[in-house]
Structures are given as structure tokens and as C-alpha cells.
Amino acid sequence: MVLEGDLKVETMTVEVKVEGTKVAEGVVVPQEEPEKDVVVEESKNDVKGAAEVKEVDAAGDDGPKTVQKSSSYKEESNFLSDLKEFERKALSELKLKLEEAILGNSLFKKEGAKKKEVEKPVEEEKEKEKETKEGKESGEQEGEKKEDVKPEGDSEKEKTVQEREEEEKTEVVIEGKKIEEIDRDVSIWGVPLLPSKGSEGTDVVLLKFLRARDFKVNDALEMLKKTLQWRKESNIDSLLDEELGVDLSSAFYMNGVDRKGHPVCYNIYGVFENEELYAKAFGDEEKRKQFLRWRFQLMEKGIQKLDLRPDGISSLLQISDLKNSPSPSKKELRTAMSKAVTLLQDNYPEFVAKNIFVNVPFWYYAFNALLSPFLAQRTKSKFVFVRPAKTTETLLKYVPAEEVPVQYGGFKRESDFEFSSKDGEVSELIIKAGSTETIEIPAAEVGATLLWDLTVVGWEVNYKEEFVPSDEASYTIIIQKGKKMSSNEEPTRNTFRNNEPGKVVLTIQNSSSKKKRALYRYKTKKNASY
């Protein structure tokens, strides 16, 4: 789902020249203009599958008038009435084939199938050895040998037929238990898969597999079978309750929701700059296996937050922070991440609505070209790459300010008990180039405590805070002296308790040549002693 809708985009091919140097196809190179985000999309019309680069001017020269929301960030509908005719037909066909597979006990691999494939060549080899040995015998002894061997050969053939019959009676194995009866309760992520059960979530899940395979029914069914087999063999259904030997919560965690209600998953690769944590996660093969299980466990936890019904939120937003992340020269990280990307793509289709990479260093574009062959077209179309200067502005398109962590320019703080969802929405103020604007917070009640959050996207403004009494005979109180706020400033939070009626005035002076966007919120806490 690439940016579409009202946003104007310009398309250029990936094969570009930077200062006279030709860049290899598949490597996305950021332009020198820091005011643009890069969205990577694979062209559907190019039979070679070459990538395209779409640069979206998020703010323009003068900046947006309001908080820009991504008009294209919308999940594909799971309602039958909204599907195209060929999509409905594919879904109906997949449900029919799935029903047959479940009732025919052919959904899972049968125990003994591998054994049959392995033992058959061995028996054929033994037969050939016997024939060779018998061919070396001569005359009457050879005839006698053949007469003796013949019944044994017949017996051997009878035995082989018996073995084959036994192998054909193999039982379906589910969760380590052999069963003879048909298992009609096969499910995935808590959703029953037997179509005749009539579960609302069945269509939603099946549509994910169909979309991942461009509505090719047989491919989608095969993908589903492989996913179910992988989950069974890897004990994924019990992963939520599993105690893993490594804690990577500083690197991967769920935090808040976006503007559409999608749970947000953060991947903070900079923490692996710490050699001790890097060794714990990728030090050897066993640790890398644990890393993968930890990542799958987090994905399962994220899916628990979803509503797999036609009218529900059925995918996640993923934000990957590449600031200070280890370079791709780290073989252990590259190997583990490549495997994780492949397994997540193959077994969790269409569970990521958008994957936003922020604080993207230049070298990552080359690294992405290495991962590109392992990614499906639909997966790559959901990638958004953002340079450091545009991180806050881009995230605000997808995530409301109150849900964006402070380190990314939003208002969400860890263990914050001051503001809640009941405290109202964030307001916005546009400061024109070369102008000064003020935000007034009323303080009519004496002894109240005023609390406010404020951020200016991109900062580079002069800022001060004052309390102005209603009584003109009283003196103005300086809360925060005027100072220049640099572009990397985090949102400011401050409080003030008034001893007389008045107002808190926040002054923002924009001396730059571009408009600035200020986001703010405030609340008043009454003091019980007054």
C-alpha cells in the first residue's frame, strides 16, 4: 500500500546517477534534499520487477496547514461486497479446497511419508546387489541358487507390499498427537479454518494468504499449508506462554496505536550497538534461534491485539529506527535478520500495513538492495524510508502526536500519568515565515496547576514562557527565558502554579523562511487546598 490519494507523487527509475556515478539497479539512493521522504515500490508493469522510487514532498516549501494524515493508509476491505469479482471467486474456490483438505486429512504432512521416500531407494539398491551377485553364478549352481532365491524374493516382495499398505494407513499428526478422526477444529491465530463453521474471521485470514499470492488459489493454499506445518513443527501456538532465555524488549516492543487504530510495533536497532546485547542476541547459532523465537513471540503478541473480523483492525504498523544501528558488515545480524524477514513474510502474510524506516543512514539503501530479493512485491510496496530531518513530520502523518514517543518529536512519555486519552486532542498552530505567534493557557482559578506539552516540527525557532496576571498592576512572571530551540530538540513539558488569576503565554518566534507547525496540549489541575 503505497502513498496514494491526494498526495502528488513523482516517479523516477531506480537507475540514477549521483555526482556522475551510476548506481546499481535495486539500490535506492536518497536525494540531497532533506525535505523529502522516500517510498520504495516495485513496479507492477515491469516484468523484471525493478524497483521504483517515489519521492513525496511532505510539506512543500511553505509547510502544511494542518497535521498531514496519510490519505492512502487504508487497509484493503475484507467485506465480500467490496471485493472484485475475481477476488470473490478466488476466495470461494480457496474455501472449497480448504474444506476438502481438512475433511480429507490432507492439510498436514502425513507421518511416514518421508520414511517411505528414504526406504524405497535403499530397498531398490539391495535388489540390484542381489541381481548382480546372482548373475555371477554359473551352470546348475546358478539355477539352484535362483530356485532358492525365488521364494525369498516373493516373500520380500510380499513384505514390501505389506509395508506399503501400513505406510498408507499413516495417521495425521497434530500437536504431537496421533488421531484417527478428522480434526474439524483446525485454527490459526484463534480463527477456525473449516469454512463450514461460518466464522467471521475465516475470510479475513484466507484473504491475507490470497493477497500474498496475488489471488492464485493453489499458491495461497500451499502457502497456508506450509504455514500450518511450520507452526506445528516450531510449536508456535505455545510460544505466547514460553519463557525465552533472552530479553530483547529494548529493541522490539509494541507501543500505542496509529491514526487508524493499528497497533504500533517499534524495532530499535541502535541498541545492538551495545556489544553485550549484540552477543546475547546473535553470538552463536543457538542464540540466533532464540532471537527468532523472541521476534515471533512479539509478532504473536501483536496479533493478539488485532480484531480478525471484516470490520476490525487486522494489521500492524511497524516503525524501524536505524539510528546508530550496526552496519550490514555484521554477519551475524545480517544472517539473523534475513532469516527473520523471510519467515515473517512467509508465515505472517499481510499483517504489516506499513513499514516505516526512520533515521535511515545512507548505507542502508545498499543493504536494502541485498534484502530486496527475499521480499515479495507487496511487502516492498509498504516500505517508507525517512531521513533523520523528516522523522517527526513523517510519523505524524501516520501516528497522532499523543501516541508518538518523545524521542521522535511526539508527546508520549514512558510511565506518564499526567496526560491521558481523556485530556483532549492535540491542537495545532501554524507560524508563518518571519512572524511570531502566541499560545494562551487560561489560569482563571487561583492555586491551580497548569501543565502543557509543546513541540515545533523542525524547531529552529525562538521560544519563551511567561505568566501574565489579569491585574495590570501585577508583574509578569518569566517561566522560561527566551532561547533558540535547535532542530533536534525534544518536545517541551512544563508546569506553573498561579497565585492570582491570569494566563500562561507561550511565545514562538519564527525567523526562518519557511512556515513552522507547532503542536500543543494543556490541562489544569485544581488544588484541593484552595
pLDDT tens digits for range 402-442? 999 999 999 999 989 899 877 778 999 999 999 999 999 99
pLDDT score at 239? 94
**Percent of the chain whose predicted confidence (pLDDT) is above 70:** 70
3-class SS at 304? helix
> Out of 7-11, 35-39, 185-189, 313-317, which region has the weakest mean confidence (pLDDT)?
7-11
Q: What CATH number is given to the structural domain containing 27?
A: 3.40.525.10
Query: What gap in Å lies between CA 162 and CA 173, rounded to an integer?
Result: 22
Would you say residue 77 lies in a domain? yes
Residues 390 and 299 in one domain: yes
Would you say residue 261 lies in a domain? yes
pLDDT score at 379? 72
pLDDT higher than 60, residue 67? no
Chain-wide mean pLDDT for the chain? 79
**Percent of the chain whose predicted confidence (pLDDT) is above 90:** 58
Residues 261 and 354 in one domain: yes
- Measured in residues, the chain has a length of 530
**Could you tell me which of 336, 338, 314, 106 has the C-alpha nearest to residue 209?**
314
Start-to-end Cα distance in the chain: 55
Residues 187 and 247 in one domain: no
Residues 296 and 376 in one domain: yes
Residues 171 and 249 in one domain: no
Residues 67 and 93 in one domain: no
Task: Answer whether 282's CB lies under 8 Å from 274's CB.
Answer: no
What is the average per-residue pLDDT within 372-399?
86
Would you say residue 431 lies in a domain? yes
Residues 84 and 214 in one domain: yes
Domain boundary among 233, 256, 283: 233
Would you say residue 335 lies in a domain? no
- Show the domain range for 465: 424-525
pLDDT score at 225? 97
* Greatest pairwise CA separation for the chain in angstroms: 134
Q: What secondary structure letter does DSSP report for 14?
A: S
Would you say residue 1 lies in a domain? no
pLDDT score at 49? 35
pLDDT band at 55; cut points 50, 70, 90: very low
pLDDT score at 334? 83
525 sits in which H/E element: strand 516-525
Residues 514 and 446 in one domain: yes
pLDDT band at 398; cut points 50, 70, 90: very high
The backbone region for 139, taken as left when phi is positive above 0, alpha when psi lies in -120 to 50, beta otherwise, is: left
Residues 247 and 359 in one domain: yes
pLDDT higher than 80, residue 92? yes
Residue with the bigger pLDDT between 244 and 365: it is 244
pLDDT higher than 60, residue 15? no
Residues 82 and 227 in one domain: yes
Residues 81 and 211 in one domain: yes
> 490-508 pLDDT, tens per residue?
999 999 999 999 999 999 9
Domain boundary among 357, 384, 399: 399
Would you say residue 153 lies in a domain? no
Pairing mode, strands 187-188 and 191-192: antiparallel
pLDDT score at 422? 77
Whole-model pTM? 0.73
> 308-344 pLDDT, tens per residue?
999 999 999 999 999 998 876 788 888 898 899 899 9
pLDDT higher than 60, residue 287? yes
pLDDT score at 483? 96
Would you say residue 276 lies in a domain? no
What would the grid cell of residue 363 be?
Answer: 548505507
Residues 64 and 95 in one domain: no
Neighbours of 500 (CB within 10 A): 13
pLDDT higher than 70, residue 103? yes
Number of domains present in the structure of the chain: 3
Residue with the bigger pLDDT between 362 and 54: it is 362
Would you say residue 85 lies in a domain? yes
Q: What CATH number is given to the structural domain containing 453?
A: 2.60.120.680
What is the average per-residue pLDDT within 155-164?
45
What is the average per-residue pLDDT within 88-95?
98
